[in-house]
Structure 1
C-alpha cells in the first residue's frame, strides 16, 4: 500500500475522527486541557504506528501537561480505538505537539501591528 493511497487516506480520517472523540469525551485526566484538538493523523502504511498531531490552546506548561496526560492514557486510547475501528492492527500512537495554530495567530498579530 502506498503512503498516500485512498485506503490510507480513509484510515487517517477515521482515526482522526475517533481519536478526537475519545480525547474530547472519554478521558477524564485533569492534566489534559479542555481546548485540545487533533490537527492531523498519519497512520503508517503497515498500520503498526501512528503520529497524532495535537494542538493545545494555552500556555507552554498547559501544553506539556496535556502531552504528558495523553502519553499516560495511551493504552486506554488505543483500546478504545481498537473497539471503534475495525482494523487488522491497532496502531501504536505517538502524540506530537503541533504549534501551527499558535504560530498563525502570532503572525496575524504581527501583520496587524505593521498595518497600524
Structure 2
C-alpha cells in the first residue's frame, strides 16, 4: 500500500527547501551566522509552521538566543518571500525554534565513545593480569 502524503507534509517540505535558500540569500543581519533548516512542522489547518533550525559552529547560548530573535523578527519578511515562491492562498505564520537534537546527538555519541574506550582499557588490563597469572603457572 502506498504511503499517504498529507497536504501539510508537502507544504512543510516545500517551505523547508525555500526557507533554507531565503535565509541564506535574503537575511542580511550580521548577528546571524550559518543556519541549517532541519525541519518544518505545519499545523493541520496550515495556519502555523514551526521551523527547526541549527546554527553551524555556534555553542554559545547567548549567540544562539540572539540568532533566534533575529530569525523570529525576520519571520514576516520571510513569510512574504515564501508567498512569492510558493503558490498558496495563505502562507503559515513562521515560528523559529532552535533544534537541539544534533547537539544532543553529538553529546550522546561522545559519551558512547568514552564508554567504549573505558571498556576496552578495562578488558586490556584484565587480559594482561590474567596472562601474567597463566605465565606463572606454566613455569611451575
TM-score after normalising by structure 1: 0.89
Aligned to 1:16: 16
- Structure 1 stretches of 4+ moved >3 Å: none
Partner of 2:29: 29
Q: Relative to total residues, which structure has the larger helix share, 1 or 2?
A: 2
CA distance in 2, matches of 1:91, 1:22: 16
By relative contact order (CA 8 Å, sep 6+), the higher-ranking structure is 1
Tell me the TM-score normalised to structure 2 length.
0.74
- Residue in structure 2 matched with residue 82 of structure 1 by the alignment: 83
The Cα offsets for residues 2-29 of structure 1, whole Å up to 9 and x where unpaired, read as xx84322211100110011111221111
Q: d(CA) in 2 for partners of 1:115 and 1:11?
A: 42
Quick check: 1:33–1:62 contact (8 Å CA) kept in 2? no
Query: Is there any run of 5+ residues in structure 1 with no aligned partner, and where?
Result: none
Q: What is the aligned-residue RMSD (CA, Å)?
A: 1.4
* Alpha-carbon distance in 2 for matches of 1:29, 1:83: 21
Does the CA-based 8 Å contact 1:29-1:69 persist in structure 2?
A: yes
Distance 2:5 2:98 in 1: 26
Q: Please give the secondary structure, in 2, of the residue aligned with 1:20.
A: helix
Gaps of 5+ in 2: 118-140
Partner of 2:55 in structure 1? 56
Could you say which structure has the larger radius of gyration? 2
